[in-house]
Chains A and B, each alone.
Chain A
Amino acid sequence: MNRRPFLKLVSALTIAGALAANAASAETIRIGAVAPKTGPLAGGATVTQWPSIYLWVEQVNAAGGLTVDGEQMMIELIEYDDQTNPGETIKAVQRLATQDDAHFIIAPYGTGLNLAAAPLFDRYGYPQIAVSAITDQQAELAAKFPNMFFTLGTTTALAADVVKVLTDMRDAGQMGDKVAMVNVADAFGIELATAAKPLFEEAGFDIVYETSYPLGTQDLSPVIKGAAAAEPDAFVAWSYPPDTFGLTEQAMIENLDVKAFYTAVATPFPGYGARFGSAAEGVLGAGGVNPDSPAFMEYAAAHEAVTGAKPDYWASATTYASLEILGQSIEAVGLDREAVTAHLREATFDTILGPISFDENNSNADFWTVGQWQGGVFRGVASRGRDGTVPVILKDGWE
């Protein structure tokens, strides 16, 4: 008789048994994370999403874990790369829920990927505290997926506050009312441009140049040249990371003479300030923080110490705050996901951004909307309900 297969079976069973016993006795909270590490959104997720997750897990575990029912439990992070592909996001969430048996799952990165995953979070009963999911559909989504929460604001608020900042500058006599507005032809850019256009017109602005360009356009000089020919007082671009850099560089080369220059996503990235240096002075962008608040300074220092990179001046801190919220909720009511979701709706959480609570639409009403590079730091100049906004300065050339 050949005893080998039998031996193999026995040893396999022994190992499997040992593993199972190990898993049962280890007191860890399994937290799943799925976000792009490759694909078009990887650059953004690498700056904003992943480092804050690593930092939070590291800090919680260094402090001995989360206290659940009087017991200290360490966090075990299970991470997946969704390749910026909604199909992969869905698969990863499904896998985390059914095979990895994760206790909680951190919301994915980007509006589209969050929306794609929402039905699965809902089906498996996981709370989804979305950060980089900016949309005006929050009320409808919260009604459809009661577990979905929003922290970073709405499209209209983001657009409206840009219009407001420019209106204030015009009314103060700092500039005229001619605006050039461009957008990247992608869900995010189109939605913002659509929201901003009537707001600009209502505020009495004259849109002298308006266009869109495809994602990944390699030469943006026609866009800047077209805008420059219309001689605007302000330039507003609802842009994504590669084109935010490209538009700024072209504006420098063309010496685009405007009093206000706005680019959207990636303007608050530390890499933006590092690349453009003093030319970035006065550039307006989406988001913002209060960089002088002690909580943010402490977070930024820890972020750099643990991950080796600086946080951005917008969604990084909010991502970290969303994890603080999750942790506080787990400590308050335990690992029961339904109880955590109910707790999220009712409680007020103490985060590095200040207190955060969710309204009847599961939305956080206090967030930053517009920031500006001032003295090598990106400072919030407009917000909904946040302290520490600073006055706007005029864009004074590109030197």
Chain B
Amino acid sequence: MDILITGILLGGTYALIAMGLNLQYGVARIMNLANGEILVAGGYFAFIAYTSTQLSPLLTIFVVAPIAFGLNWLIYVLMLQPLVNRAKNRGQLEQDSILATFGLSFIGVGLMLSFFGGDYFSYSFMAVPVELLGNTFGANRVLSFVMAVVICGALYLWLNRSRAGLSIRAIATAPASARLVGIDVKTLSALAFALGGAVTAVGGALISTYLTLDASTGVVFTLKALIIVIMGGVGDVRGTIVAALLLGVLETVVASLLDPGLTLAAAYVMFLAILLFRPQGLFGKKPT
């Protein structure tokens, strides 16, 4: 039971890491390799707010989210829209966007280095134990899990109930046909990309309460997000959540029952297995 809860909590962390990329890749069709840098930037923001003014990361996220939303909107409109416009097919767009955002990730690292320096940033926020079913867990991890549930739940409802959300899902399913039924693909793609960035930055702010980050750790999170999004199925919120939870539980089971040294191996075995037997991802649709 202890292992299961620890694993689910870790899964919540992974969902926070991957949800933003899912929106960006699934809808806006941008494989954003600078995703991790946005996450670290969100973490920095929370760190600075907490150490200088004791502002709780729970409040910081309300500042981080609009800033990250605006920033990502700008990135999409200025840098990625031209790529979308000139791309003849999806393959070309993916190739171009991977190269462009790869460059962007270096710019992100460089900017953070020059503004904040390369030092580790870490602070203690709610590093107190909470009892759940007789076992102890870090309150900050539990809190971030609750926030992950709230964010993922809100996204799921929004994508399935609201008009804008349904349009976004339409774009994810059939970008060419979406335009035919009067959906403003350009604006909504930008919206999805910006929203993805905001979710990622908020995730970073929450994760910084228990993980030690520095300016160049972004790539670690990008890779993890990539694996989860591909396992879950591109463009499906449920897939990302399920894949994140599976990964969290698997890693904790292996670490607790076998050996913590094998967690990485186990994670990649699962990734390989899904690629082999269900290449479209857990919730992905087979290409027709």
Contacts and interface: CB of A to CB of B under 8 A. Distances in A.
A271 B120 contact: yes
Interface string B1-20: 01100100110010000000
A241 B212 contact: yes
Interface stretch (B75-83, B165-173, B185-193, B260-268): B260-268
A123 interface: no
Interface string B239-277: 000000000100110011001110110000000000000
Interface string B132-167: 000011110100000000000000000000000000
Interface stretch (B95-103, B111-119, B198-206): B111-119
Nearest to B264: A214
Interface stretch (A43-51, A63-71, A322-330): A43-51
B252 A219 contact: yes
Nearest to B253: A222
Interface stretch (A160-168, A198-206, A249-257, A370-378): A249-257
Interface hub of B10, B121, B216, B264 (most chain A Cβ within 10 A): B216
Given A43-B214, A46-B117, A249-B124, A211 B259 contact: yes
Interface string A242-254: 1001100110111
A226 B256 contact: yes
Interface in A32-74: 36-40, 42-43, 45-47
Contacts of B127: 249, 252-253
Given A211-B259, A219-B13, A253-B137, A266 B120 contact: yes
Contacts of A276: 124
B109 interface: yes
B212 to A, nearest CB: 4
Contacts of A299: none
Interface in A218-264: 218-219, 221-223, 225-226, 241-242, 245-246, 249-250, 252-255
| A222, A253, A271: most-surrounded residue (chain B CB, <10 A) | A222
A43 B9 CA distance: 27
Contacts of B216: 38-40, 42
A25 interface: no
Nearest to A216: B220
B118 A275 contact: no
Given A212-B261, A222-B255, A43 B120 contact: yes
A216 B217 CA distance: 9
A42 B138 contact: no
A37 B113 contact: yes
Contacts of A37: 113, 118
Nearest to A249: B127
B107 interface: no
Contact of A46 (B3, B118, B129): B118
Nearest to B121: A271
Contacts of B214: 42-43, 46
Interface of B: 2-3, 6, 9-10, 13, 109, 113, 117-124, 127-129, 136-139, 141, 210-212, 214-217, 220, 248, 251-252, 255-256, 259-261, 263-264
Contacts of A255: 129, 136
B215 A246 contact: no
B260 A223 contact: yes
Contacts of B141: 219
Given A219-B13, A225-B2, A250 B261 contact: no
17 contacts: A37-B113, A38-B113, A46-B119, A182-B260, A212-B261, A213-B263, A214-B260, A217-B263, A222-B255, A225-B6, A225-B256, A241-B212, A242-B217, A245-B212, A249-B124, A253-B127, A266-B120
A222 B252 contact: yes
Contacts of B217: 242
A245 B13 contact: no
Interface residues of A, number: 42
Given A211-B259, A213-B263, A246-B211, A241 B120 contact: yes
B261 A47 contact: no
B138 to A, nearest CB: 4
A75 interface: no
Contacts of B128: 253
Contacts of B212: 241-242, 245-246
A254 B129 contact: yes
A185 interface: yes
B119 A47 contact: yes
Contacts of A213: 255, 260-261, 263
B255 A38 contact: no
Contacts of B261: 185, 211-214
Interface string A104-140: 0000000000000000000000000000000000000
A270 B12 CA distance: 31
Contact of A221 (B6, B118, B121): B6
A213 B248 CA distance: 15
Given A38-B216, A43-B214, A253 B129 contact: yes
B251 A219 contact: yes
A222 B256 contact: yes
Given A216-B220, A246-B212, A271-B119, A38 B2 contact: no
A214 B267 CA distance: 12
B138 A221 contact: yes
A309 interface: yes
Nearest to B138: A253
